[in-house]
């Protein structure tokens, strides 16, 4: 291992990943609790209505996404005017997104034959406006791989959104509860950001050139990425009813939980880690890709093999139709795991045009296939088309990574080998126990069966992962780091106990002192 890829960088990266994953996990637990409560107060039609509006919100907001934080992270030093420029750009972006959402509200309502969508989108436009005011100085913590302040922001916003949404849902049984949660979370986070890192932002564009290269190609990439992500939600309301669309939307929301809880927070520390890699960028990229696969595959195995129990626990029997969509959309997520780190890699190298190329190709495949599939085969046709487009995007991404850091396709795919082999016995265990879990008569019995079996499934996977790592010659990476951490945690108490017992044991006297002269 190169000297500049020492344990301090690896430990900080793993620690940052643990913080971001832990934060996102708690945030999604709050989201799931809110979803569970709202699913008891609201029906599929209400969720389907909000999903119609949120599709446009996601697309327009992603279209104008400005990677100001990424631009600030890669700079060698931060100056006050750089922060002011980032704030000004974010503010302009929030205003533009909000105005566009208001402008398309009534046309979208007419397109979907749903007049309530118009006013709903006007209210939802407040969310991106709030995010546009977030404090740019928070990036100083990210540059230092310290994500504790970000954890406070996100969790505080989620807690307030949970209280507000559940209160409104219990009182009104209206879809406005979901809209209130969408607006409250960014509002609370933005206000707290100025409490944690005080700054008086000013309107400046003096350092625009530092952001322009990322923003130009990022605009293209985000445009096609947003359409790739939301095209099904735009097309399906035209070919299905609100209830079926609500079932699909809820299944997709559950399928996206692992990505939001694990993939997104795990990717966040990748850019500063790759930026400091130097000549070791290729090996570090492969190790990071392998680490994400090790974490993600067992998590995705649960919705792939146990979709029905997960839906019964999270949503209740009224949402059983969402199970099939949870399964298939989770499979699409697994298809996209190779080349997942292309975005932070391209931004680190300032080669975002290649990221735009990948997303453009995927969109050009996805758009006609999803439209044809939805029109002729409904939701299932749209899902199948998305799977084909994701596979195409994955393959193109592998070729782009090979071009950027001269890493072969085989080397990239080999990062999945050990996690896939470790999943074989674990997945077999889940498949074997599924009939017994599904036979549970009630929710309590289902939890009593599923929870211990799920923990045993994870234990089997971890054991198989360690065996595969040993057979591979114990190479460097996540497994080596975790084994080292466990060994250190175990050895410290043992050595401390040994020192303590050593001090408490009476020392033998020196032989000369022990000698007693015998009388003659």
Across 165-194, average pLDDT: 85
What Å distances lie between residue 271 and 199, 286, 337, 348, 461, CA to CA? 25, 14, 17, 6, 28
pLDDT of residue 15: 58
Tens-digit pLDDT profile for residues 460-478? 999 999 999 999 888 887 8
Answer with the residue of higher pLDDT: 441 or 458.
458
Does any domain span residue 505?
Answer: no
CB atoms within 10 A of CB 507: 7
Does any domain span residue 307?
Answer: no
Confidence of residue 213 (pLDDT cuts 50, 70, 90): low
Does any domain span residue 249?
Answer: no
Q: What angle do CA 149, 155, 158 make, to 5 degrees?
A: 145
- Res 270 pLDDT > 80: no
- Res 395 pLDDT > 90: yes
Answer with the residue of higher pLDDT: 496 or 319.
319
Does any domain span residue 155?
Answer: yes
- Res 57 pLDDT > 90: no
pLDDT of residue 220: 66
Does any domain span residue 302?
Answer: no
Across 398-425, average pLDDT: 92
- Res 392 pLDDT > 80: yes
Containing structural domain, residue 175:
13-207
pLDDT of residue 155: 83
CB atoms within 10 A of CB 133: 17
Find out whether 41 and 169 touch, Cβ atoms under 8 Å: yes
User: If you average pLDDT over every residue of the chain, what do you get?
Assistant: 80
**b or e along 92-127 (b: 16 or more beta carbons within 10 Å of the residue's beta carbon)?**
ebbebbbebbeebbeebbeebebeebbebbbbbbbb
Does any domain span residue 99?
Answer: yes
State how many domains the chain has.
1
Tens-digit pLDDT profile for residues 80-106? 778 888 888 888 888 888 888 888 888
Does any domain span residue 127?
Answer: yes
Does any domain span residue 380?
Answer: no
What Å distances lie between residue 458 and 37, 63, 302, 451, CA to CA? 28, 38, 10, 11
């Amino acid at each position: 291992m190169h000297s500049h890829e020492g344990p301090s960088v690896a430990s900080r990266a793993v620690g940052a990943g643990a913080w971001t994953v832990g934060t996102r996990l708690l945030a999604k637990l709050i989201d799931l609790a809110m979803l569970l409560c709202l699913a008891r107060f609201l029906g599929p039609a209400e969720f389907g209505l909000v999903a119609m509006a949120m599709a446009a919100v996601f697309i327009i907001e992603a279209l104008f996404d400005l990677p100001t934080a990424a631009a600030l992270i890669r700079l060698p030093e931060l100056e006050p005017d750089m922060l002011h420029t980032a704030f000004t750009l974010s503010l302009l972006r929030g205003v533009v997104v909000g105005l566009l959402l208001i402008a398309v509200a009534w046309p979208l309502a007419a397109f979907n034959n749903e007049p309530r969508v118009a006013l709903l989108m006007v209210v939802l436009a407040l969310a991106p406006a709030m995010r546009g005011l977030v404090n740019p100085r928070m990036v100083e913590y990210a540059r230092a791989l310290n994500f504790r302040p970000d954890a406070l922001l996100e969790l505080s916003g989620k807690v307030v959104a949970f209280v507000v949404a559940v209160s409104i849902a219990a009182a009104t049984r209206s879809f406005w509860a979901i809209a209130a949660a969408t607006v409250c979370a960014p509002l609370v986070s933005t206000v707290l950001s100025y409490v944690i890192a005080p700054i008086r932002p000013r309107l400046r564009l003096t350092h625009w050139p530092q952001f322009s290269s990322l923003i130009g190609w990022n605009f293209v990439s985000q445009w096609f990425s947003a359409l790739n992500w939301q095209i099904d939600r735009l097309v399906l309301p035209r070919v299905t009813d609100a209830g079926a669309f609500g079932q699909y939307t809820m299944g997709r929301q559950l399928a996206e939980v692992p990505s939001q809880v694990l993939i997104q927070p795990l990717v966040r520390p990748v850019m500063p880690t790759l930026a400091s890699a130097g000549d070791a960028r290729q090996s570090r990229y492969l190790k990071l890709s392998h680490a994400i696969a090790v974490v993600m595959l067992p998590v995705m195995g649960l919705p792939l093999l146990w979709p029905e129990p997960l839906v019964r626990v999270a949503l209740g029997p009224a949402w059983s139709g969402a199970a099939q969509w949870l399964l298939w959309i989770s499979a699409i997520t697994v298809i996209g795991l190779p080349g997942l780190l292309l975005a932070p890699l391209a931004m680190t190298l300032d080669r975002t045009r290649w990221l735009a190329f990948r997303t453009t190709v995927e969109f050009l495949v996805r758009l006609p296939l999803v439209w044809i599939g939805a029109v002729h085969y409904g939701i299932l046709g749209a899902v199948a088309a998305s799977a084909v487009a994701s596979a195409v995007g994955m393959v193109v991404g592998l070729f782009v990574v090979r071009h950027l850091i001269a890493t072969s396709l085989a080397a990239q795919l080999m990062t999945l080998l050990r996690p896939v082999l470790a999943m074989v016995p674990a997945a077999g265990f889940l498949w074997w126990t599924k009939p017994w879990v599904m036979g549970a008569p009630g929710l309590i019995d289902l939890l009593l069966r599923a929870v211990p079996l799920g923990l045993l499934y994870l234990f089997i996977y971890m054991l198989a992962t360690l065996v595969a790592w040993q057979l591979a010659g114990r190479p460097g990476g996540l497994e080596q780091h975790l084994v080292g951490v466990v060994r250190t945690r175990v050895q410290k108490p043992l050595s401390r106990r040994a020192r303590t017992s050593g001090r408490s044991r009476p020392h033998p006297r020196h032989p000369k002192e022990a000698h007693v002269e015998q009388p003659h």
